[in-house]
Amino acid sequence: MDELRTSRFSSRVPQVLKNIPWARVIIWTALIGMVVFTVMPLLFMLTASFMTSRQIVRMPFNWIPETFFVTNFLQALRGNDGSWIFTRNILNSLFVATTVAITTVLIASITGYGIAKFKFKGRNFVFMLIMATMMIPFEAIMIPLYMVTTSFKMQDSYMGLIVPFLVSAFGVFQMRQYLTTFPTEFLDASRVDGLGEFQIFWQIVFPNCAPVIATLGILSFRGQWDNLLWPLLVAQSEKMKTIPLYISKFAEEKLTDEGAMMAAALIASIPMFIMFGALSKYFIGGSAVYESRKG
């Protein structure tokens, strides 16, 4: 598929360059300029995390730190109050995001399978209903959602952080689209072989959805890793807070050193950078989709 696309475009390239000789220069300048724009702030985060605050705001800025000021990282982990809550908060984020990724994949795939491969009354209605929830912005329902969570006594707990995101309408949509093309003959053959419906889902259908599962899992993980608004409402005690809350609290404290701020930001980004490094094709493939329910 990719090979085809490449050849498609590369066949056009010589024409373009022959007809407009200066096009190449302009295009490459623009492409590289954009790289500078997108990458510079990230490099700034990296280099500033090793600097003292005086070095960070120095004019002109020196891109290579004179000393590797590791105290920043210690300060970031320790916090201004010396509570070391950062570690707990980043573990919270990892736990919540991982759980949401798993439940989203599981529930979305079973629902998508039910809608795609079973005929029952009201099937289309159910699908439309789930799709309709994509139109409801999270910001519009956060306060009633908070009250629902409180009435279940789930505020300030992992349950409260996780339950409202157990599955996403977009996930159901994606799984349903993917499974619609799944060959029904496989399912029928498995039925003839005497497999139960749940076994068929778990042993035949689920393992065959790997690419879409990866995409959806990453999307859900990232959504929670980035979620600020909901934890802001639900996580009241320090030990239930997630990493975006820690960063925003750290940023507003007067005592916070700029270098320590960047160190905290850098540590908070490492899990996503690792994931992106390892699975970039799923990130980039999966970005062609609408992210619903993002805080």
Partner 1 sequence: MKPNSLTHKRKYIGIERIQARWGIAFVIPAILFFSLFSFYPILNALYTSLFDKRVLSLLPPTFMGLGNYIYLFKSADFWNSVRATFVFTFGTFMPMVVVSLAFAVFLSLVKNKKVRGMFQIAYYTPAVISSVVAAAIWLLIFDPRGLGNQWVNFILNTPGVDNKWLADATMVQLSTMIVYFWKYIGYFIILFVTGLSTIPSSIYEAATIDGANPWQSFWRITMPLLKPTVVLVSIMAMLQCLKTFGTQYLFVQGGAPRAPINVITLNIYTTGIRNQRIGRASAMSIILFIIMLIFTWVQFRTSKSEEVEY
Q: Please, which of residues 174-203 interact with partner 1 by CB under 8 A?
A: 184, 188, 197, 201
Entry field: residues in the chain: 295
Q: Please identify, among the stretches 69-77, 84-92, 207-215, 263-271, the one whose residues bind partner 1 according to the rule CB under 8 A.
A: 263-271
Task: Verify binding: residue 7, partner 1, rule CB under 8 A.
Answer: yes
Residue from 140, 203, 211, 278 in contact with partner 1 (CB under 8 A): 140
Dig out the tokens for 251 from the structure: 């940023």
Among the listed residues 172, 179, 216, 260, the single contact to partner 1 using CB under 8 A: 172
| Residue 21 makes contact with partner 1 by CB under 8 A | no
Considering only residues 74 through 103, tell me which ones interact with partner 1, judged by CB under 8 A. Answer: none
The answer to whether 164 and 142 are in contact (CB under 8 A) is: no
Q: Does 22 bind partner 1 (CB under 8 A)?
A: no
Which of the ranges 65-73, 76-84, 140-148, 154-162 carries the binding residues for partner 1, by CB under 8 A?
A: 140-148
Closest alpha carbon to 104 in 213, 244, 231: 213
Rg over CA atoms, the chain: 24
Q: Looking only at Cα atoms, what is the longest distance across the chain? A: 75
Residue owning tokens 């573990």: 91
Q: Cβ neighbours of residue 165 under 8 Å, at least 6 residues apart?
A: 100, 104, 220, 223, 224, 227, 230, 293
Smallest distance, Å, CB 90 to partner 1?
A: 12
Phi, psi (deg, nearest 5) at residue 121 = -60, 135
Q: Choose, by CB under 8 A, the member of 72, 92, 111, 220 that binds partner 1.
A: 111
Among 77, 94, 102, 141, the residue binding partner 1 under the rule CB under 8 A is 141
Q: How far is the CB of 189 from partner 1 (least distance, A)?
A: 11
Q: Is 181 left (phi over 0), alpha (psi -120 to 50) or beta?
A: alpha
User: Residue 140 Cβ, how far from partner 1 at the closest point, in Å?
Assistant: 4
Residue from 21, 22, 67, 120 that binds partner 1 (CB under 8 A)? 120
Size of interface with partner 1, in residues (CB under 8 A): 107
Task: Give the position of tokens 């959504």.
Answer: 223
Q: Identify the residue whose tokens are 């590797």.
A: 68
